[in-house]
Amino acid sequence: MCPFEYYRPKTVAEALKLLDHGVPLAGGTDLIPRRDEVQAVIDLQDLGLDTIESQDDIITMGAAVKLQAMVEDKDIVPSALREACCLEASLNLRNMATLGGTVMSADGRSPVVTVLLAMDAIAILEPGNKRLSLEELLDQREKDDLHGLITEIRLKQPDFLGYEQVSRAPADRPLVCVAMARLPSEEAEKRYRVVVGGVGSSPERIKEAENGLSEGEDINTAVDATRRIYTSASDEWASGEYRAHTAGVLVGRLATEMIS
Amino acid sequence: MRIQFMLNGESVELEVSPDATLLSVLREEMGLFGVKHGCETGECGACAILLDGVPVNTCVMLAAQVDGHEVTTIEALGEHPERGWRDTGGLDPIQQAFVETGAIQCGFCTPAMILAARALIDRVPDPSEEQVRDALSGVLCRCTGYIKPVQAVLRAAALLRGEEVQPIEAPIPVPPEFLESPPEDPTAGEGFLGGPEVLTRTDVMPRIHVAPRIKPHAVVGQPEVKVDAIKLAQGKPAFAADIEMRGMLVAKILHSPVAHARIKRIDATKARELPGVAAVLTWEDIPRVIYSTAGQSDPIPGPLDSFSLDNKVRFVGDRVAFVAAETESLALQALELIEVEYEPIAAILDSGQALAEDAPQIHDEPEYVGFADSDPKRNLAVEIRIDIGDVESGFADADMIIEGTYQVPKVQQAHIEPHVVVTYWDEDDRLVIRTSTQVPFHIRRLLAPVLCLPPKRIRVIKPRIGGGFGGKQELLVEDVAAHLTIATGRPVRFEYTRAEEFFASRSRHPMRIQMKTGVKRDGTITANDMYVLSDTGAYGCHALTVTGNTGHKSMALYVGDGRYRESPNIRFYADIVYTNTAPSGAYRGYGVPQGFWAVERHMEIVARQLGLDPLAFRLKNTLRAGELHPFSTAWSEGREPRPETINTCGLADCVEQGSVAIGWSDKYGNDDWHRVEGKPHLRRGIGVALVMQGTAIPYLDMGGASIKINDDGSFNLLVGATDLGTGSDTVLAQQAAEVLGVPLEDIIIYSSDTDFTPFDKGAYASSTTYISGAAVVKAAQQVAERIRIRAARMLTEETGEKIAPDEIQLVDRSAQAPDGRSVSLAEVALNALHHEDQEQIMGTASFVSPVSPPPFAAQFAEVTVDIETGQVTADALIMAVDAGVIVNPLTASGQVEGAMTQALGYALCEEMVYDENGRLREIDFRDYHIFAAHEMPELGTIFVETVEPSHPFGVKAVAEIPMDGVAPAVGNAVMDACGANIVKAPITPERVWKALQAK
């Protein structure tokens, strides 16, 4: 077994220098159980990346913000995102898990990432102050091609944000979940976001459903498109047939709520 | 690396390994055993501490991360109120509330819950119930159902605010009046989970319909504080792993990655050469002794088909090699260095394929010892064929014959404390096994031949147990550590990981059950037939007895009516087959929840097809007092059956009480109630299931007890009975206290140690309060008799006026004559031990019962179903149970609440699923979901007492019966809500949706 090293840098610059030697340690709830896979960890707790701010309807959250801090910030964090945080993990883990860590370790059943995708979240990475949409970030993560350190997640305060899930028990991981947002965009095609989760490595945007909503808030088109795309969403937890149907139901409910 | 942090108010600085978890440092370096290990992924929360005032889980945190922070463990809170001449502040008010309310069962999660509560109350002095539940949501409890912990926090918060709370020892209502429904106490809740609003009052007593007493009791029937509660609330080192020993090694198992294979070659050379590795054992290194891992009485009623290590593996997770090393990390490295060449064999993963002619043979070892009809060539562990009456004639009499097929999954006991054992040679070179077991005496007996030691050279110590639920009625880890201690001469600790608990432990038998019922149009059952295909997994531990009880209990409840009641027609056939999956075994309910899923789902369908009221139809056909237990002449756990009459049955009263409590008459058949205003996709439903269990195994289960008096008139009570968190030590001590006329605090109970305590078969079969309790009463009566004789002599000598011993009563710590003269028990003790005609006043007794008096219960459930998605939300579970006389309402209701919660998981979300390679889908609490505090429905417990004549205080069992009815009651409620007939548990959203599609 290789020796294991622990670093706790005081600045982002220091952290970036250490990135070649190890992996970022945020809350650790995902990383620590599999720490034998890494040789060194870079603890981000002293980097000051734990603030939540809102300015001009842009919410800026540090990557090291704890999920529970998001739950407790009722003034800034939208209710559906706070709800998703509660469903992501129980209290003790929410006191540890960070926003950035959750994004990096989430799979398709993550309520938080489902909602963040619906909110068109932007990740800021260092070095270089790079802006990546959450979709791009998840794509690069999937390809193991993500370089740098997430320092911030930026969100637009939505006009509407809703989240629904179906699970075996109230706090169980979702079999199917849907997040829907109406964002304050001038361009109609960027206004609506529909994201479905419950399967695979990350939740999925249903662009056809978004298009349906953009073109006259057509709920049926959104529902049908969701069902069409999710038919293949089959795994050991639920059939694609069921997921397609249920995702359609949830899209329909959220769209109805949004439009009303 | 060096870290510095504040620990419980003091600055500490220590050297830690950079990869060490905070959990391991706190336990192993700092000796803070109040921090518990329950999993490795942060989901159970047993390892919680407060970090800068908020609860976090230390198993997923490096010790290095707390450098510069403030850590609080349970050891910082409170202390025992009695510490000799030094004044103490006593327990923290939250600890005190947990102690008083019965919030502590096994106590393994208690420190974490108390810390979570402390963090909440420090921040929110006046928390709502929803906030309390959220605060406790990070700590999984498998014992309590969370009601009492929530009540404890609410009461503590109120007391800390200076408010009064209702006393716990509130007067208990007396018969004959039935109780009214409780007033609604809706707590505000805009919870995110969207579940039902929870209703938890701060008064903690369950409702009891008290049976008339011949003589009022002083201690029995009272909500006494659990005798182990104070130490558990403080997180004292009371559990098997809470021990430090010089030179202790850590053990690990190499598990099979394949479902079925012969080990062609195994080479542990490299592993043995790794520095720090003390021993590696393979099947080539230890004696080949066949045995059963089932912790049962001799002779084992099942096949002998297991070896400590074998040259064949039979499931993914089966044992391949044992390693003992200086550290866990080294042991894990050693596992990777063991070279194994497997010769794969076709695997059986579907019990339906096990009996096929071309199926591979899982047990082909020549040493195999079958039981009864075992046929390993056919993968048949055992079979059961029971015919009572004339079933075919009964079917011929029927107006309708209704058939159905039902299915139940494999599920895990999920006790929060994993299996754990420490073994060592003592100074006499006797092997000591300190283990978390339900069956210490069976462990000693079963283990001895495996280790080539006589039982007298083995001592088994059972400390506190962090839950068992049947999972620890098994020789599962003890042999591993013991072999390694023999190999190395050193102490060895072996503890399962949470993943091992899932893939290499025991579980509830999955079953496919076919029902066939003949009925008259008036609802009379004329014949009832059940066939079970039961999957015992790779080994046949508990194979016969679990599945036997499936029929013995669930098929005994419905005997029919009229002449069929006098001579019921019942058939119960079962094939219990081997598959290449992890072995099934004992799990609370012991086969009966499986049976009642089928029987009670089926009875609902029969009632509906006949158009009869489901309550009336059921009660028309159920077993009644005075009738013969129909299976008692046919089967008795593989031993000789003997006829047994039901002495007490409060089932009709349970139905009445339960239906009042849940509002059955207002809801059942009421279309308006079934609809949810403003939510057309939701439907409410209500359901019921009637159930029965047993109380111990007649003519077999024996418990012993020994009592002696001390100088101060207190008593030591030694029992072999095994309190696994249920509170059995408390209810046994209560029974002793009642006989001896002392308060509970004067009984110092100890359980269990094979060297010091009398034999007891252990904690299973719902037997301890009844069997061990009767033994305690008998021993106490012997002691009481000696006290009376001596007290009579003392009083006679003192006054010159003669008094006979049988005139003396033991009351209020004294022996009292009818004329008012009395002598204290302390004076009697001093007289006996020091002054005159000295003797040790003591008694030893045992008890075995000729009957197994069944508790009966009516389980009600209320649900809301989303008819578009199939999602089911449980809104309320209410159980009215006849468990005989209730010795302790707090511990008994805790049993019901906890079991209903486990059973709710069985109903809705718990399931172990294997893939095509025999690999398990669920290996942690993320995927294997058990209910947490913030997602619970309302739970209600009602005791309808009867007085069982075969026990001195009239008790029957309560521990297992609440497992039996929840799943079918929820299934019936789902059917009531939306017509979906779910035959396969758990009732997942997709199954409901598909059933609705099929309508």
Distance from CA of B217 to the nearest CA of A (A): 43
The fold for domain A160-259 equals Enolase-like; domain 1 (3.30.390)
H or E element, residue B118: helix B110-123
Kindly list the residues from chain A whose CB atom is less than 8 angstroms away from the CB atom of residue B989. 166-168, 175, 242, 246
Greatest CA separation found in chain B?
89
Residue B64 to residue A175, Cβ atoms within 8 A: no
H or E element, residue B443: helix B440-451
Helix and strand numbers, DSSP H then E, in chain A: 10, 12
In the block, which residue shows the tokens 């327990």? B91
Residue A92 to residue B138, Cβ atoms within 8 A: yes
- Is the predicted pLDDT of residue B178 greater than 90, yes or no? no
Residue B291 sits at φ, ψ, to 5 deg, of -160, 175
The SS3 call for residue B62 is strand
Contact B953, B887 (CB under 8 A): yes
Q: Which residues pair with A115 in a beta bridge?
A: none
Tokens of B840: 């040790």
Question: Mind giving me the DSSP string for A160-218?
Answer: EEEEEEE-SSTTSPPSEEEEEEE---SSGGGTEEEEEESSSSS-EE-HHHHHHHHTT--
Helix, strand and coil percent figures for chain B, each rounded to 5: 30, 25, 45
Question: Mind giving me the DSSP string for B457-484?
Answer: GEEEE--B-S--TTTTSB-SSHHHHHHH
| Residue of B849, B857, B934 whose CA lies nearest to B893 | B857
In tens, the pLDDT along B974-999 reads 999 999 999 999 999 999 999 999 98
Confidence of residue B181 (pLDDT cuts 50, 70, 90): very low
Tokens of B783: 């002691």
Q: How many CA atoms within 13 Å lie on the side-chain side of A253?
A: 22
Kindly list the residues from chain B whose CB atom is less than 8 angstroms away from the CB atom of residue A45. 65
In tens, the pLDDT along B472-511 reads 999 999 999 999 999 999 999 999 999 999 999 999 999 9
Contact B780, B787 (CB under 8 A): no
Kindly list the residues from chain B whose CB atom is less than 8 angstroms away from the CB atom of residue A47. none
Residue B62 to residue A169, Cβ atoms within 8 A: no
For the segment B949-975, the average pLDDT, to the nearest whole number, is 97
Residue B193 to residue A8, Cβ atoms within 8 A: no
Q: Which residues pair with B882 in a beta bridge?
A: B856
Residue B869 to residue A68, Cβ atoms within 8 A: no
Per cent of chain B over pLDDT 70 is 96
Q: Can you tell me the distance from the alpha carbon of B718 to that of B585, in angstroms, rounded to the nearest whole number?
A: 29
The SS3 call for residue B665 is helix
| Residue of B105, B188, B202 whose CA lies nearest to B154 | B202
CATH number assigned to the domain covering B249-345+417-466+472-503: 3.90.1170.50
- Is the predicted pLDDT of residue B772 greater than 50, yes or no? yes
Q: Which residues of chain A have pLDDT under 70?
A: 1-2
Tokens of B489: 């001469």
Disruptive mutation site among B277, B936, B988, B990 for chain A (greatest number of A CBs within 10 Å): B990
What angle separates helix B614-621 from helix B651-662, to the nearest 10 degrees? 170
Q: Which residue of A has its CA nearest to B994?
A: A242
Strand-strand pairing, B380-388 and B319-325: unpaired
Q: Is the peptide bond before B176 cis (omega within 30 degrees of 0)?
A: yes
Q: Can you tell me the distance from the alpha carbon of B875 to that of B935, in angstroms, rounded to the nearest whole number?
A: 10
pLDDT of residue B395: 98
Disruptive mutation site among B336, B993, B994 for chain A (greatest number of A CBs within 10 Å): B993
Among the partner-chain residues A28, A168, A175, the one whose CB lies closest to the CB of B65 is A28
CATH number assigned to the domain covering B2-76: 3.10.20.30
Residue A83 to residue B988, Cβ atoms within 8 A: no
Strand-strand pairing, B715-719 and B702-709: antiparallel
Q: Which residue of B has its CA nearest to A36?
A: B19
Kindly list the residues from chain B whose CB atom is less than 8 angstroms away from the CB atom of residue A96. 42, 56-57, 60-61
Greatest CA separation found in chain A?
60
Contact B734, B749 (CB under 8 A): no
Disruptive mutation site among A88, A102, A168 for chain B (greatest number of B CBs within 10 Å): A168
- Is the predicted pLDDT of residue B180 greater than 70, yes or no? no
The reply to whether CATH 3.30.720.200 applies to domain B511-697+851-998 is: no
Domain ranges of chain B: 2-76, 249-345+417-466+472-503, 511-697+851-998, 702-848
Contact B502, B922 (CB under 8 A): yes
| Residue of B644, B659, B662, B599 whose CA lies nearest to B965 | B599
Disruptive mutation site among B25, B869, B917 for chain A (greatest number of A CBs within 10 Å): B869
Residue A92 to residue B868, Cβ atoms within 8 A: no
Contact B282, B359 (CB under 8 A): no
Distance from CA of B579 to the nearest CA of A (A): 21
pLDDT of residue B672: 97
Q: Can you tell me the distance from the alpha carbon of B412 to that of B425, in angstroms, rounded to the nearest whole number?
A: 33
- Is the predicted pLDDT of residue B651 greater than 90, yes or no? yes
| Residue of B966, B960, B898, B472 whose CA lies nearest to B696 | B960
Among the partner-chain residues B57, B329, B993, the one whose CB lies closest to the CB of A93 is B57
Distance from CA of A224 to the nearest CA of B (A): 15
Q: Which residue of A has its CA nearest to B937?
A: A170
Q: Can you tell me the distance from the alpha carbon of B936 to that of A125, in angstroms, rounded to the nearest whole number?
A: 41
Strand-strand pairing, B938-944 and A23-25: unpaired
Q: Is the peptide bond before A127 cis (omega within 30 degrees of 0)?
A: yes
| Residue of B333, B269, B243, B322 whose CA lies nearest to B488 | B322
Number of residues that make up chain A: 260
- Is the predicted pLDDT of residue B218 greater than 50, yes or no? yes
User: What stretches of B611-711 show up as alpha helix (H) in DSSP?
Assistant: 614-621, 651-662, 664-667, 671-674
The reply to whether CATH 3.30.365.10 applies to domain B702-848 is: yes
Q: ipTM more than 0.90?
A: yes
B634 residue type, one letter:
A
B838 residue type, one letter:
Q
B763 residue type, one letter:
A
Other CB atoms within 10 A of residue A2 CB: 8
Cα B712 from chain centre: 36
Q: Which residues pair with B288 in a beta bridge?
A: none
Residues 6+ apart with CB under 8 A from B724: B106, B438, B465, B467, B468, B469, B472, B763
> How far is CA B797 from each of CA B350, B802, B822, rounded to the nearest angstrom?
78, 8, 12
Residue B776 sits at φ, ψ, to 5 deg, of -60, -45
For the segment B244-266, the average pLDDT, to the nearest whole number, is 97
First-to-last C-alpha distance (Å) of chain B: 65
Q: Can you tell me the distance from the alpha carbon of A48 to that of A15, in angstroms, rounded to the nearest whole number?
A: 12
Domain ranges of chain A: 52-156, 160-259
The SS3 call for residue B232 is helix
Disruptive mutation site among A92, A93, A164 for chain B (greatest number of B CBs within 10 Å): A92
Confidence of residue B185 (pLDDT cuts 50, 70, 90): very low
In tens, the pLDDT along B89-146 reads 999 999 999 999 999 999 999 999 999 999 999 999 999 999 999 999 999 999 999 9
* Count of A-B CB contacts under 8 Å: 146
For the segment B524-553, the average pLDDT, to the nearest whole number, is 97
In the block, which residue shows the tokens 């603030």? A51
Residue B909 to residue A172, Cβ atoms within 8 A: yes
In tens, the pLDDT along B829-887 reads 999 999 999 999 999 999 999 999 999 999 999 999 999 999 999 999 999 999 999 99
Q: Compare B636 and A152 and report the one with higher pLDDT.
A: A152
pLDDT of residue B213: 66
Cα B532 from chain centre: 24
In tens, the pLDDT along B888-915 reads 999 999 999 999 999 999 999 999 999 9
Kindly list the residues from chain A whose CB atom is less than 8 angstroms away from the CB atom of residue B53. none
B732 residue type, one letter:
L
Number of residues that make up chain B: 999
Kindly list the residues from chain A whose CB atom is less than 8 angstroms away from the CB atom of residue B194. 170
pLDDT of residue B203: 62
On average, the pLDDT of chain B sits at 95
- Is the predicted pLDDT of residue B368 greater than 50, yes or no? yes
Residue B942 sits at φ, ψ, to 5 deg, of -130, 130
Kindly list the residues from chain B whose CB atom is less than 8 angstroms away from the CB atom of residue A42. none
Kindly list the residues from chain A whose CB atom is less than 8 angstroms away from the CB atom of residue B994. 242
CATH class of A52-156: alpha beta
**What is the Cα gyration radius of chain A?**
18
For the segment B538-555, the average pLDDT, to the nearest whole number, is 97
